[in-house]
Amino acid sequence: MAKHAGSTFKRAKLMYRITHYFNSNPILELGTSLGIATQAMHLGNPNASITTVEGCPNLSEFSKANFEKLGYQNISVINKDFKSAISEFKSKTYDLIFFDGNHQKESTLQYFNTLLTTTHNDSLFIFDDIYWSKEMTEAWEIIKQHPKVTVTIDTFFWGLVFFRQEQHKEHFKIRV
């Protein structure tokens, strides 16, 4: 399963570096899967409070047990569908939100728009699989154009979104 679900080692290393560099805390993840990206974020900032949401009960329990076995006490695993879970988070503020679950255009845009209330000047949203389907690419293009978005970085698998008001709108494509 790890071969086809969750983050690759290369992506986990990048997530670790991003979380470490930005010292992200608190963090929200939509789509725990096996918890590989969650662990990378935890290792990037061991003091970060991480909330991760997984819709599948089996994956949720597996990841939760694994985090407990590793002694990661600052990771909260929530087993809910994203649509009902995000209403609990929209009044909070996050440094980093990793969107890695529902890869449908309308759902992705709904989560993005709902969670915009959680941003501050230095927040970062990361969208996984922006070229997964035509719908995901369309969602990515709409997100890039949002007036609150200032800088985006397209890594060909992730889309990074920044909200820095002092920065002019720019879009970058880099292969990592």
Task: Please write the tens of the pLDDT for every residue from 43-100.
Answer: 999 999 999 999 999 999 999 999 999 999 999 999 999 988 998 898 999 999 999 9
Domain membership flag for residue 86: yes
What's the confidence (pLDDT) of residue 7? 64
Domain membership flag for residue 18: yes
What's the confidence (pLDDT) of residue 176? 81
DSSP E strands in the chain: the ranges are 27-30, 50-54, 75-79, 96-99, 124-128, 151-154, 158-162, 170-173
Domain membership flag for residue 2: no
Domain membership flag for residue 146: yes
Domain membership flag for residue 163: yes
Count the domains in the chain: 1
Query: What pLDDT band is residue 1 in, cutting at 50, 70 and 90?
Result: very low
What's the confidence (pLDDT) of residue 3? 41
Domain membership flag for residue 1: no
The tokens 């070229």 sit on which residue?
Answer: 131
CATH number (domain holding residue 131): 3.40.50.150
Cα–Cα dist 23/95, whole Å: 9
Domain membership flag for residue 89: yes
Domain membership flag for residue 157: yes
Please give the residue range of the domain that contains residue 118.
9-173
Cα–Cα dist 165/168, whole Å: 8
Cα–Cα dist 66/68, whole Å: 5
